[in-house]
Amino acid sequence: MSLGKVPTHLLYTKTHEWVRVDGDKVVIGITDYAQSKLGDVVFVELPSTGDDFDAGLSLATIESVKGVSDIYAPISGSVWEVNEELEDIPEYINEDPYGQGWLLSLSIEDQTELDDLLTAEEYQALLEDEE
Amino acid sequence: MLKHTPLYNWHVAEGANITEFAGYEMPLHYKSGILEEHRTVRTKAGLFDLCHMGQIRVRGRQAVEYLDYVLTQKIADMQPGQVRYSLLTTFDGGTIDDLMVYKKKSEFVLVVNAANKEKDYAWLRDQKGLYDVELTDLSDTYGIIGLQGPAAERILAPLVEDGLGNLRYLRFLETEFFEVAAVVSRTGYTGEDGFEIYFPLQAVPALWNQLLREGKSLGLVPVGLGARDTLRLEMGYSLYGHELSRQINPLDAGLDFAVKFEKDYFIGKEALEEIKSSGVKREIAAFVAEGKVIPRTGYKIICQDKAVGFVTSGTFSPTLERGIALALIEKGLENENVHLEVRGQLKPLTRVKTPFVPGRVKK
């Protein structure tokens, strides 16, 4: 199976979320590898703006035909914006996981937490280990 | 060591997402995904690799008496060319498997679930006793291809010399492809019109490719186990290991139609009669979820703060675009106001009758 695209300008988690730093916020989604493992996404449950999460807590769930997956907060923060388009078009996650399939943005509370995330190279190595 | 059907390399070359099922590496879905494969079967046609399933031939002077002894279904009045759904039960009424019985001129073939084939064969051999019958495991000799969907007959008809149009549901005919003998039955587990084709295992890839070529213009695509499950669940059909098990007897599962108490005897008859007369305590019920909820196997069914059962099969119905479930619950709940426990939250369920989606088999 293909490991999918791993864009070099993003950061990653071991649980297959991607993170794009955008000023004092981070935008979060799931990786190409993760979406291909999940298969057809049919429902996405997102938190409300203003909800606070500690790093590592489940902040969203994605239901595919095959099963349900938790999405974990890569860093601590409060939800700034959610991708409301996913309500009607959850398939964006399959079709464009790094673009229109973004899930939400979080405000950054502690910059140092970003240091714990994986680089593209490290994430690619993790995928090769998993397969 | 995982096993492969003769189509395994074909699936891999097509980019299938491979999953382990019943000791086999099988296609879960191809590149287009479960939803599209499901919808193609409902609107056009799909081709299924079912070579992992088991086939057990029963023949001999007492084949009829023996099968009437081990199976819950009535066998004595079956005519050649007929197919019947039956259960295989233990002496205490637990379900060993559900299967299809094919009655040929002078022998029977039992088509059984892939995960149960060794277990079934061992059980059947153990029950043989003094019956004058011969059991043969044909699972590694013949393969099965499923062709399901409204376009199935138009795809297959040009390849079958005669009779396909007159072939009724739960009937089969013997024909040949490439001058090799084959059995074609009008059967399936999708709720659509369609066929299952029995063919020598080594020759399956040639027939598979031929069918895909013939069906291409009518929209035929290969379909994996993912859509096979969503299709059967939309029909409310039982799946062994989910709605049926050693612990879930055929009466719990609502399969009374396949349990023939009028027979003098069959293994499990006394136990099942006892269960029936003392009142069946549980039932398989069908539910539709509201909103963005997908029931999953094992989720609890809650009624008035009390767990009254659990989901045996749940999925997203591509046709209804809703979560659907079969669940084993206490029978005769007076309060129909039931909920599904999803990660600690209660979500409303609406009880419905199966099928969830109208079936279109050719009766």
CATH number at residue A82: 2.40.50.100
Q: How confident is the model at residue A45 (pLDDT cuts 50, 70, 90)?
A: very high
Query: How many Cβ atoms sit within 10 Å of the Cβ of residue B245?
Result: 17
Q: In what order do the strands lie in the sheet with A17-22?
A: A11-12, A17-22, A25-30, A104-107, A77-82, A52-53
Domain carrying residue A99? 11-109
Tens-digit pLDDT profile for residues B106-150: 999 999 999 999 999 999 999 999 999 999 999 999 999 999 999
Alpha-carbon dihedral angle through residues B172, B175, B178, B179, given to the nearest 10 degrees: 150
User: CB of A131 within 8 Å of any CB in chain B?
Assistant: no
Q: Give which of B305, B308, B292, B318 is closest to B351, Cα–Cα.
A: B308
Pairwise CB contact (< 8 Å): B316 & A63: yes
Query: Using CA atoms, how far apart are residues B329 and B315, in angstroms rounded to an integer?
Result: 18
Domain count, chain A: 1
| Single-letter code of the amino acid located at A93 | I
Nearest to A42 among B17, B296, B316 (CB): B316
Chain A interface mutation, best of B34, B37, B290, B299, highest count of A Cβ atoms under 10 Å? B34
What CA–CA distances, in Å, run from A90 to A6, A62, A100, B249?
21, 9, 10, 39
Tokens of B78: 């079956």
Q: In angstroms, rounded to a whole number, what is the distance separating the alpha carbons of residues B321 and A53?
A: 31
According to the model, what pLDDT value does residue A1 have?
A: 55
Q: One fold for both B54-128 and B281-352?
A: no
pLDDT of residue B116: 98
Taking contacts as CB-CB distances below 8 angstroms, the residues of chain A near B225 are: none
Of B250, B241, B320, the residue nearest B287 (C-alpha): B320
Task: For residue B197, give every residue at least 6 positions away whose Cβ sits within 8 Å of its Cβ, in sequence order, or none.
Answer: B144, B145, B146, B147, B182, B183, B184, B207
Q: How far is CA A61 from the centre of its chain?
A: 11
CB B33 within 8 A of CB A40: yes
Helices assigned H by DSSP within B127-218: 152-156, 204-215
Residue found by looking up tokens 């890569």 in the block: A74
In a domain, A116, yes or no: no
Per-residue pLDDT, B162: 74
A126 in a domain, yes or no? no
Cross-chain residue pair B28–A43, CB shorter than 8 Å: no
CA distance A66 to B28: 10
Q: Would residue A17 count as lying in a domain?
A: yes
| Count of CB pairs separated by less than 8 Å, A with B | 41
| pLDDT for B170 | 98
Burial of B321 (0-12, 13-18, 19+ CB in 10 A): exposed
pLDDT at B344: 93
Pairwise CB contact (< 8 Å): B34 & A66 = yes
pLDDT of residue B238: 98
**What type of residue sits at position B4?**
H
Lowest mean pLDDT among A12-26, A47-61, B332-346: B332-346
In whole angstroms, how far apart are CA B260 and each of B128, B243, B269, B298, B314? 21, 20, 9, 31, 30
Task: Give the strand pairing for B194-200 and B221-222.
Answer: unpaired
Contact state of B226 with A42 under an 8 Å Cβ cutoff = no
For chain A, what percent of residues have pLDDT higher than 90? 96
Residue A124: inside a domain: no
E strands in A1-131 = 11-12, 17-22, 25-30, 41-45, 52-53, 58-64, 68-72, 77-82, 104-107
- Give A39→chain B minimum CA distance, Å: 7
Among the listed residues B165, B164, B209, the one whose alpha carbon sits nearest the alpha carbon of residue B184: B164
- Core vs surface per residue A91-124: b (16+ CB within 10 A) or e: bbbbeebbeebbbbbbbbeeeebeeebbebeebb
Residue B223 near residue B189 (C-beta atoms within 8 A): no
Rounded mean pLDDT for each run of 10 residues along chain B, 363 residues in total: 97 96 97 97 98 98 98 98 98 98 98 98 98 98 98 96 89 96 98 98 98 98 98 98 98 98 98 97 97 96 96 98 98 88 96 96 85
> Does residue A4 belong to any structural domain of this protein?
no
- β-bridge partners, B148: B46, B194
Task: Tell me: pLDDT of A124 over 60.
Answer: yes
Name the token pair of A129: 């280990």
Task: Identify the helix (H) or strand (E) that includes residue B174.
Answer: strand B172-177
**How near does any CA of chain B get to the CA of A43, in Å?**
6
Cβ neighbourhood burial of B129 (10 Å; 0-12, 13-18, 19+): exposed
CATH architecture, domain defined by B281-352:
Beta Barrel (2.40)
CATH architecture of B54-128: 2-Layer Sandwich (3.30)
What percent of chain A stands above pLDDT 70?
Answer: 99
Q: Which residues of chain B have a CB within 8 Å of the CB of A45?
A: 292
CA gap B149, B352 in Å, rounded: 25
User: B251 φ, ψ to 5°?
Assistant: -75, -40
Under DSSP, is residue B328 helix (H, G, I), strand (E, B) or coil? strand
Superfamily of domain B8-48+140-234: Probable tRNA modification gtpase trme; domain 1 (3.30.1360.120)
- Contact indicator for B22, B115 with CB cutoff of 8 Å: yes
- Within 56-85 of A, beta carbons closer than 8 Å to B belong to 61, 63, 65-68
Q: Which DSSP helix (H) or strand (E) runs through B194?
A: strand B194-200
Question: Between residues A62 and A3, which one has the greater pLDDT?
Answer: A62
Whole-angstrom Cα distance, residue B246 to residue B215?
40
Category of B129 on φ-ψ map: left (φ > 0), alpha (ψ -120 to 50) or beta: left
Distance between first and last Cα of chain B? 42
Q: Which letter, b or e, does each residue of A13-24 get, where b requires 16 or more Cβ atoms within 10 Å of its Cβ?
A: beebbbbbbeee
Would you tell me the crossing angle of helices B34-43 and B225-234 to the nearest 10 degrees?
60
- Rounded Cα distance, A96 and A93, in Å: 6
Residue A131 lies in a domain: no
**What is the token pair recorded at B88?**
């295989």
B191: buried, middle or exposed (CB in 10 Å: 19+, 13-18, 0-12)?
A: buried
Tell me what pLDDT residue B121 has: 98
Give chain A's end-to-end CA distance (angstroms, integer). Answer: 8
* Domain boundaries along the sequence of chain B: 8-48+140-234, 54-128, 281-352
